[in-house]
């Protein structure tokens, strides 16, 4: 949560953060996670993800977001 608070604090009105999700074994990109719709006044942001269909339900978005949050 500290990392998300940092994004909100540091963001400009049009700011967006985006990270590629890739497989560990071969670095194949399979999707992305983004932080957008940042509202400093309301201390709020949206987090979204896109994963290629064949990788749905395997925990890739959860794992990636968890790792980003632990970086804080």
Which residues partner with 46 through β-bridges? 36
Task: Give residue-wise pLDDT tens across range 17-67.
Answer: 788 899 999 999 999 988 877 777 777 788 889 999 999 999 998 888 887
From CA 32, how far away is CA 70, in angstroms rounded? 18
From CA 52, how far away is CA 35, in angstroms rounded? 19
From CA 21, how far away is CA 44, in angstroms rounded? 23
pLDDT at 11 (0 to 100): 60
Are 36 and 46 spatial neighbours (Cβ–Cβ below 8 Å)? yes
pLDDT at 56 (0 to 100): 96
pLDDT at 34 (0 to 100): 87
């Amino acid at each position: 949560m500290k990392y998300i608070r940092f994004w909100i604090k540091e963001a400009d009105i049009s700011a967006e953060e985006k990270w590629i999700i890739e497989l560990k074994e071969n670095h194949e990109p399979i999707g992305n996670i983004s932080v957008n719709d940042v509202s400093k006044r309301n201390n709020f942001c949206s987090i979204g993800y896109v994963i290629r269909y064949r990788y749905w339900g395997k925990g890739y978005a959860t794992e990636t977001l968890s790792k980003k949050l632990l970086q804080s």
